[in-house]
Structure 1
Amino acid sequence: MKHKDSYSTPELLRIMGGLELRMNQFYTKVAKKFTEPEGIRIFWDSLAQQESVHSTIIYTLSNMYRNNPGMFNEIVEVDYATMSKIEDFIKTSEEKINNEDFDLNAALQEAFDLETLEVNDIYDRIIESPREPFLAVIDHLIESEDAHLNSLVEAILEYASSDKLIEKAKNLRATFSVHEQV
């Protein structure tokens, strides 16, 4: 992916759609690797399905804007470091899945870090200046991403054995208030 300092809305949507699709692929692989304890596979499959839906929504928006160029031509400022950080994190996460030491705690940690990066570094930047009708769709996606964080916090508290990860989840629940309380 070629990075630059600013993207037209359709360009950013295509990038976001690709990131969501890669997150779907990551969660699908994790679901296949971790089937125990009971309920964890359903959790991962659910995250994968939601990311697939997000990707479809975002690609549909991108096509809408491309087919009606006057609808929304604003430029969104997203710096190279932000896009590079997220893309590199996803690539690294995908590579870690096959490592022997990639256990359930590591999978939960990767998902937690990935979802918070996505919300903090992409979605928050997009909503800095509200726009219609785009904002209504982004609001829906943000609510869904917040739900991911909520379910991740719950999964970490239920399944994780890492005290550090459990503490991070508790801290997020106590302090995360950008969109909704986690």
Structure 2
Amino acid sequence: QEAKLESQKTEIDQLKLQSEGMIRFLTNVQIYSVQEINNLDHVKQVAFSASLLDQGEGDTGPFNTQTTLIFKHVVTNIGNAYNKHTGIFTAPVRGAYHFDCHILGHGNIVAGAFLLRNEEQIYVVYENPTSGTVSASNGASLLLEVGDQVFVRILAGPRIFDSQNHHNTFSGHLIFTM
């Protein structure tokens, strides 16, 4: 019986060690999970809206080649994913995003631009006025991976007009992470 009692004590000691190890493991998992949740809460807050000209008024274009538009008047940039120096939005997290683009043209010249993900054309914003002023807009929801870039390029040839009324805009926001 003494041998049996000693064997049971050894087994109890081993179970204690295993229990302490599990407690340490679960504590680390809990800390890691709380940090991950905090990070996800932070990244869920992504939204921007910007217009073409920061001040004044005038035409942009026509250009001989497609040219990335730099929307300089930033109204909001929650999460700092939009770069007002390059005109490029860079996805900080994998998820579904929604983007909108509005342009204004006047006179008898085409007003048109593409929304691109990386170098892939997603949609066109286009209007062909014969006179007067016209506007065009379009929007899309996209699945983006971390680091994907979304931006607007004016077509080769078209011209758009902006003023202190901020007619030309580019906006986007994270709908949900994935």
Scaled by the length of structure 1, what TM-score is found?
Answer: 0.25
Q: For CA contacts below 8 A with separation 6 or more, give which structure has more relative contact order.
A: 2
Scaled by the length of structure 2, what TM-score is found?
Answer: 0.25
Between Structure 1 and Structure 2, which shows a larger proportion of helix residues? 1
